[in-house]
Structures are given as C-alpha cells and as structure tokens.
Amino acid sequence: MPTVNIVLMEPQIPQNTGNVARTCAVTGARLHLVGPMGFTIDDKKLKRAGLDYWDQLDITYYQSRDAFFAANHGPCYYFTSKGPRRHTDVRYPDGAFLVFGREDAGLPEELLAANPNTCVRMPMRRGERCLNLSNAVAVGVYEVLRQWDFEGLETCGQLTKYEWK
C-alpha cells in the first residue's frame, strides 16, 4: 500500500489532533506531530477524540520544525489558504507529506515563501479564513487516496438490499 504522511505543525487544539489521529488510523496514513504543541500528548481531550484508535497509529513526534525536516526527505505539500493551486490539481506521489499549520495561525510565512510551487489551497467562499484542521486533513488525505484509487483500503460493508419503511 502506498504511504501518505500527515504532518501537523504546532497543533493547538487536542480535539482536532485526536480527530486527525482517527482519520490517519482508518486510512493508514502516517501521522507526524511537530512541536511545540498547545497540549500534552496525554491530554484527556486528545485521547477521547482519537477514541480507541491510538494503538493503530503510525505516529512520530518531533520537538521542532527543524527536527522534522532533518528526519524526513519526501515531497511536501503545504496546505494554506494562500496556495496558488487547488489541492485537487496536484498529483501526489507515494510518500507525500501533507503539511498543515496551527489552527490559529496556519503555516509560517517563511515556509510558504520558500516553497511556493508546493503550496496548495482548498476552495472556499471568499472572506472565510479556513476549514477546521481535522476537516481539512480529511479532505486532503481522501483526495490523495482517491487519486490512488483507494489502494489497500476496503469498504466498511455494502448494503445488498435496503428497504425504506
């Protein structure tokens, strides 16, 4: 199965990170948490949002952005409202890193300025700031999986007959 990597740079809200962890567990995406974070990893809200999926995660923690980039060398796609291309206009290769910023500030401007060709955006109404972090990650990871024809994933079950009553 190809690998997609989800990177959260300095996440601040434990519930969002827990929801992202759950999305990663059910899709097989690897999760990378880059500090400093706005909560501790044993936060009850984080654990509750991730439910009982924590043992199914491939998760790595980094103290800083520099530590993350020193350890990883795959193609990175920076999700930002300032991206010149839509997230659906990019062909994501195996091993791609989808990078998301803080809920309150997004990704650092210097990171975006240094990587203009790999900054992508999700279309939304003019004047709106952004999607919720966990929703944005879900949209991003499922676009990658759609492009890969959901390789390695099965359906939860299909109805063979459904009757309205």
What CATH number is given to the structural domain containing 49? 3.40.1280.10
Residue 153 lies in a domain: no
- The pLDDT score that the predictor gives to residue 54 is 77
Average pLDDT of 7-17?
A: 93
Residue 155 lies in a domain: no
What is the reported pTM? 0.89
Query: Sign of dihedral through CA atoms 17, 128, 141, 77?
Result: negative
* Runs of H (alpha helix) within the chain: 14-27, 44-50, 65-71, 109-114, 133-147
Average pLDDT of 145-164?
A: 72
Residue 51 lies in a domain: yes
The number of domains in the chain is 1
Average pLDDT of 46-59?
A: 73
Residue 41 lies in a domain: yes
Residue 30 lies in a domain: yes
Rounded Cα–Cα distance for residues 49 and 20 (Å): 9
Rounded Cα–Cα distance for residues 33 and 92 (Å): 21
Quick: pLDDT tens for 79-96: 998 899 999 999 999 999
Q: Which domain holds residue 22?
A: 5-147
* Runs of H (alpha helix) within 33-164: 44-50, 65-71, 109-114, 133-147
Reported confidence tier of residue 128, pLDDT bands at 50, 70, 90:
confident
Residue 130 lies in a domain: yes
Residue 163 lies in a domain: no
- Around Cβ 52, how many Cβ atoms within 10 Å? 9
Average pLDDT of 37-61?
A: 75
Rounded Cα–Cα distance for residues 148 and 165 (Å): 38
Residue 157 lies in a domain: no
Reported confidence tier of residue 48, pLDDT bands at 50, 70, 90:
low
